[in-house]
Every structure is written in C-alpha cells, then in structure tokens.
Structure 1
C-alpha cells in the first residue's frame, strides 16, 4: 500500500513538471493583501496546474489534480475538458478568494473562474465555484475531491454538452446539440448584423460578437440563471456588465433556438442586430440608463434601414393608440420584464423604439447619440434623463413626453 502511494505521488509530480512552464500564462491569484499560508499557497499551485492543463487541452494533466479515489469526478473532468477542446481559449484562470480548512488535510476553496475567448474577449467571463480538496501526505499536494457551482452561479455552455464552433467573418458562434448548418446560418446573420451596427453607432467598438446557441430554451435558462418560462417568447438576449470601465466586457448573445427558429430571415436579422447593438453600446450604458432608452436604441439601430412601416414594427402599440388607449408615460423598467404580460412587454419595446425615432427625427441622429451618452454618463439614475433632455435636447420631461404621445398618434394612428 505504501509503495502504491509513492508511485501515485511520482506520477503526480511528473504531470506537474510538464506543466510548470505554463503557470505564468494560466496562473491564479489571491487578493494582493493576503499573506498566503502553506495551505493557501499549495492549493493555489494545484489550481495553477489545472488552469495550465486546460490551456494545453492536456487530459492527463487535468485529471492528475483530481484525487484518484474520486472516480466519478475524474470521469466528469475528462468529459468537461473534451467538450472544451474546440473552444478558442485565450486565458483560463482561478482566483482563490477564500479557503476554509477542515483539519490539516481537507479544505474547501471559494474560487472565481475567469476565461477569455481568443480574438473576442478583452475582459474575462467570470463564474464562482466551490472546490473541495484533500492533501496527500505522501507528496504534500492538494487534490480535488469535488467541484461545483457556487450558489447563484450559472452553468457554462460546455457543461451542457459537446461544443460545436463556427467562426464567421465578424462572429464566433458556439453551439451545443444544434446542427452545424443552423450554427453556420446564425454566424452568417451575425456577420451581417455587425456592419449594420457599426453604421448605426458612431463610436469605435470591437466589431465582433460571440453568440451562444444552446440546445433548448431550458438550457438557455440555465445559462442565464433564470427559469426557462421567462424566455419562451424571447428569441435572444445579451449578457454583460454595463458601465464605461475603459475596457469592453465579455458580452454574449444567447439565442433561444426555439423562438429564433420561428422567425423569418428579416426577423432573425433584426434580433441579432438588436442584440449586437447592446454589445456595441455597452460601454455607454450604465445603471443610469433607463431600459426604454437602451432597448429603444437597439431597436432603432435594427430597424434603421426603413424596410418596415411603423405599424408593422409596433403592432401592439398601434392597436392601443387606435383604440384610444395609448400610453400616457414612457415605459418603466418593470414593463420590460420577460416574465410579465407579453402584450405589455411588446408595447414597452415599441414605445422605446418610437421615443428614439422621435429624437432622431426631430433633433437628429447626432443628438440621439449625444443623448444616449449623456444619460449613461450620469452619476446615477436620479436626474439622468432630465439633465440630458435639458442639456442635449433643450427640453423637459413633460414636453418630451407630450411630443412622444403626439408622435405615437402621427406614426400609428
């Protein structure tokens, strides 16, 4: 038995030596002010070896940091790495945020996984995980015995199955369980959307988009951490942090394959242009930006070519206006809730689009861009729209709302 332990430790040391050169590229770090003790330092070394193995797509090294007795976990780890094989990773890191020791040979680590896609992400996607480890007294190293998402964390696409990758001219499409020709069609539509967004948004942006296509709306819900029922009628959504941080966040457009498939070519183009607009404008969108403005501007960019009439674009609102029940105020944020009344949701989107149409028509496109930037650059939600209306458009909320209501009647009545 002792000899078996020694051979196991020798194999583990060999695997670690192969990966040593990669640790700088794939390393993880604890907070700068933490004084690492032996346990923290050694656990970090285990996570470093694991991160390096991911970047090398080295199955043996990836499994080598797992306790040999955790056979189910070893199998799951091999499957996970195989699913990542086609994903173009630029970086994969583990940030060790907290360690709870259970005696001298067992510990639980709170870990923040961060990864970037090569050529697309300038900042990482991050997800919190809980990792349990045991120390082998024969070699002093720590080995994984469990790895699970932290409470509130969402699943990643590769956890749902083998990832198929399609590279477009301006897009990277990652899918699970969908036919390759479907993913290629999504890439073609995304490629067409990118130049449309560039033409509609005056500021420089990355000019590329990452699209995830899960196998079902249920899987879409898992990627977003919400019930599938919230997205049954939603063709796509965009993730990503808001705010002008000086670097582009890692946005993902996530497609609902069931709803998206029901759309024709025009509808699919509108959806992906709308979502790509969110990617382009992310740095100018902040908590101060009301949803009617961010969603309205994205629709304004998507419908900017004028192929459809206002009544075709805003049928729900047109019906309300014709029946004398048009809205009295601009849509509130809660009107855009996916889980709410679908008719109210449609009218909210349509109302936001027509508000941006009004600004572009009456004040001009440059003023629409300036208004968007001014609202997003405000220090908080309070006063953001009011100040931007005054400073950019020379009007008041009351006057703008009255103009918007008249505009609805002129375009839809």
Structure 2
C-alpha cells in the first residue's frame, strides 16, 4: 500500500506539473509575442501513469484535463502587415483604406486619421512611407489581444530635406477573437519623440503654400498670413543662402509652420518653448542615430507679426532659417562641455540683421547705445544659462550681447571668418574646448583676448 500511495502521489504531482507547463505554453506565454516568434498554442498534456498496478489496486482516476483553446495573440508579422497596408493606402491615395485600420469604436481617431491623410496629400513629399520599428508590448488572452508598437513615418519633403527623416508614433492595436482583424485604438507620439505632433498631425484642414526654397504650413489662424507672406519668406531664404560662404552641407530649404494659437505653437513638435516666438527643431535621419540632424522644422507664432512692418517679420524668419541652414553641421551626440549658445544665437541674430548698421538697430525700443548704457558693457561672453534663461529680461540681454559678439567678429575678422568659426564650433560642439579651439584655429586668438577686444569694441562702437 505504501507503494500504491507513493504511486498516486507521483501521479498527482506529475499531472499538476504537466498541466502548469502546458498552460504556460499554450496560454499565458502565447500572449507575450516577440518579434519573429509566432505565438505558441496547444493542449494541456498529462504525464502518463507509469506505476504498475495489481488486481487488488484500483486504477488511478481518469485525467480531468481538457484542451485549452489557443490564446488570442498579435505577432510582429501581424503588426508589420498592418503598417504596410496603412502605408500602401497613403501611397495609392486610398483614403478609405488609410482610415479603415482604425477601430470603429474610436470615431474621433478615425476623423483625425482622415484629416491626417488629407493633410499629407497636400505636402510635396519626395518619399513618404510608414514602417514598423519595434513591438513595445503585446498581451493576449482567451478572447482579446492588445499590442503597442513604435511606428515610423519616414519622409522627405521636396526641396527641404536632403535625406529621408523620421517621425515616430506609438500605436495601440487590438484584436478581438483568434482570427479577428487588427484595429488601431490609439495613436500618440512615441516615448521621447520631439518631432510629434507635426503640423499634419495637429491641424484640421492644413494650408500648404510652396515656393522653391520654402514649404509653408499653417492652421486657420495664419492661412492668410502664409499666402500673403510666402514670397517674402522665399526672399528671406534666398537672403540667408546668398550670405553663406562655408561650403556645401547646409539645408537645401526650409519647412515653416505658422500659427497664432499660442497653445498650438508651444505644443507643435513637443518643443514647449514658452518664452519664444520662433523655434527651430532638429529632425533625425532615417536609420541614423549619430547625434547629427540633417534637417529641421521651423515654427513661428504669427500673433505679433500680422500688423507690423514686414521687415520685423522678416527678421524672425531669417533668424530661424539661419539656425536651420547650418543645423546639419552641429554635433548633438552629447551635452556640450563649453558654453557656446552665444555663438549659435548670436550668429542667427547677426545674420537676420546684418543689413543694418549699429546706428539703425533698436533693442527693446531703444538705440543700441542707450541699451548698452542701461545694462553696461559686457565683461564676459554670454553664458548658456543667460541666453536661454526662463526670465525674459535676462534672456533678451543674453541675445543682445550674443548678437554684438558675432557683429564684432564680422567687423574685425570678416563675414567669411564668422562662417568658418561657426563650422568649427558646430562640428565639435561636444568638445570641452569647442570655443577655445575655434578661436585659435579660425581667428588666431584666445577666448580671453577676443573677449577683451569685444568689450572694447562695444564700448567704442556701440
């Protein structure tokens, strides 16, 4: 009897163990899908009873295990096929197909996807497609499965992007039933994605105006401004390009978004620059993550430019275009080890206003002489914290002195040296001595000597 009891115990342990493993393979584990690995499915298996029995022994009770239905799952291949069909619908101008991937229970999402399709059709793309980057998570069960995935919009705006660039989305996808179709239930920007939302995501009825060097997008608050100022913005682009002497590699053109909606301006491209009226956002190339950004997107709050002298509006556009023009040269692979925002912002300020002499310029409504008299002659180059201070007065002063620094450099060494200096700083922006090295290699001086001469110039010339 001891052996019989032992045999029964062995059967019970073996049966439960087999049931547990089987459920893990056929049920829960099947819900965790990894790329390239289809979901496993099967039925529960019970370990066979191997103990011998005698006539006096009762046979073990029959197994009560039943077959386990395959869990509903979503595989990498499933998601890849969904993204491919979505992309194909865009390429074939199939609006119904583009929207059909949305869950019917999400009417707002379906509407926004229809608006996205309409907006994308207006933008002059050299190439535009969607691709699956990765499956972030996938969970399934007996009746439903949900997955989240990172999906890239790989695109190249004609005349603006030198290579295809990307905007990453986070898709939430569901399946009802083992053979049910995949449907998108939510779309947002991917984690840490600063390129989302683009204007085509954020605006219903996007206005698009094109010129050879600019592609202008606007919401309904600035559609008229876009149309009336398109030629002026084209001239601003030509102005910046005509002045550049640093060789090839600059951006070929500019993408500009206009809005008078302050909340939309701060939210576009997730830049959240509450203190600015214009911003330039770098955009990553497809297939690269080396810290260099071949293209940019410009956004401008048009509120204060609708009823002012057109020359004032031109300044902000020339400023942001200057950033975007030389942005491809900047190494942003790591944080900077030496303050150099004064060079970045000073160059854009000088470039946008270089046609004016110091006697013609006004800062905060005052002549430069009065402004310097009020705030004092600088004794050092502006720091990064001053230039990008959250305090508007501090930042304005930082921008002013940054502008004067580059204006002095152009006056003393010539505009070509300014361009060479900017190239040297941009290409080595993460170095601990990027400014010091550029001073020595391009200008033949030291940072201290330059600063002293700059302060003297401000005192005597401004």
Per the TM superposition, whether the score is higher than 0.5 is: yes
| Cα separation, partners in 2 of 1:151 and 1:230, compared to 1, 3 Å | farther
Q: How far off its partner does 1:128 sit?
A: 3.4
CA distance, structure 1, for counterparts of residue 283 and residue 170 of structure 2: 23
Give secondary structure in 2 for the equivalent of 1:322: helix
CA distance, structure 2, for counterparts of residue 242 and residue 334 of structure 1: 26
2:333 is the counterpart of 1:280? no
- 2:28 matched to which residue of 1? none
2:435 aligned to which of 366, 385, 393: 385
Counterparts of residues 1-400 of structure 1 (less than 5 Å):
36-38=36-38, 39-89=75-125, 90-103=127-140, 105-114=144-153, 115-135=155-175, 137=177, 139=179, 141-153=181-193, 154-158=196-200, 159-178=202-221, 180-202=223-245, 203-204=247-248, 205-227=250-272, 229-231=274-276, 234=277, 236-241=278-283, 249-287=294-332, 288=336, 290-306=340-356, 309=359, 311-312=361-362, 315=366, 318-323=369-374, 325-337=376-388, 340-378=390-428, 380-400=430-450
Give secondary structure in 1 for the equivalent of 2:121: coil
| Cα separation, partners in 2 of 1:186 and 1:381, compared to 1, 3 Å | farther
Q: How far off its partner does 1:190 sit?
A: 1.5
| Cα separation, partners in 2 of 1:310 and 1:350, compared to 1, 3 Å | farther
Q: Assess if the C-alpha contact under 8 Å between 2:280 and 2:320 holds in 1.
A: yes
Q: How far off its partner does 1:248 sit?
A: 6.3
| Cα separation, partners in 2 of 1:359 and 1:79, compared to 1, 3 Å | closer
CA distance, structure 2, for counterparts of residue 206 and residue 42 of structure 1: 38
Q: How far off its partner does 1:246 sit?
A: 11
Q: How far off its partner does 1:245 sit?
A: 6.8
TM (normalized to structure 2)? 0.73
Specify every segment of 5 or more residues in structure 1 that has no aligned partner in the other structure, as ranges: 1-33
Q: How far off its partner does 1:42 sit?
A: 1.1
Q: Assess if the C-alpha contact under 8 Å between 2:159 and 2:214 holds in 1.
A: no
Q: Which moved more, 1:204-213 or 1:268-277?
A: 204-213
CA distance, structure 2, for counterparts of residue 174 and residue 229 of structure 1: 21
Specify every segment of 5 or more residues in structure 2 that has no aligned partner in the other structure, as ranges: 1-33, 39-74
Q: How far off its partner does 1:387 sit?
A: 1.5
Q: How far off its partner does 1:307 sit?
A: 5.7
Give secondary structure in 1 for the equivalent of 2:442: helix
Give secondary structure in 2 for the equivalent of 1:102: strand
Q: How far off its partner does 1:349 sit?
A: 1.6
CA distance, structure 1, for counterparts of residue 430 and residue 383 of structure 2: 16
Q: Which moved more, 1:138-147 or 1:88-97?
A: 138-147
Aligned length: 375
Larger Rg: 2
CA distance, structure 2, for counterparts of residue 345 and residue 284 of structure 1: 25
Give secondary structure in 2 for the equivalent of 1:85: helix
Q: How far off its partner does 1:385 sit?
A: 0.8
Q: Which moved more, 1:351-360 or 1:244-253?
A: 244-253
Give secondary structure in 1 for the equivalent of 2:239: helix
TM (normalized to structure 1)? 0.81
Kindly report the root-mean-square deviation, in angstroms, between the aligned alpha carbons of the 2 structures. Answer: 2.9
Which deviations, in whole Å up to 9, do the C-alpha atoms of 1:261-303 show, x marking residues without a partner? 2541111112111111112111223345711111111122222
Q: Assess if the C-alpha contact under 8 Å between 2:160 and 2:253 holds in 1.
A: yes
Give secondary structure in 2 for the equivalent of 1:199: helix
| Cα separation, partners in 2 of 1:123 and 1:194, compared to 1, 3 Å | same
Q: How far off its partner does 1:369 sit?
A: 1.9
CA distance, structure 1, for counterparts of residue 434 and residue 254 of structure 2: 29
Q: Assess if the C-alpha contact under 8 Å between 1:124 and 1:250 holds in 2.
A: no
- 2:453 matched to which residue of 1? 403
Give secondary structure in 2 for the equivalent of 1:178: coil
Q: How far off its partner does 1:140 sit?
A: 5.6
CA distance, structure 2, for counterparts of residue 390 and residue 222 of structure 1: 41
- Structure with the larger helix share: 1
Q: Assess if the C-alpha contact under 8 Å between 1:271 and 1:302 holds in 2.
A: yes
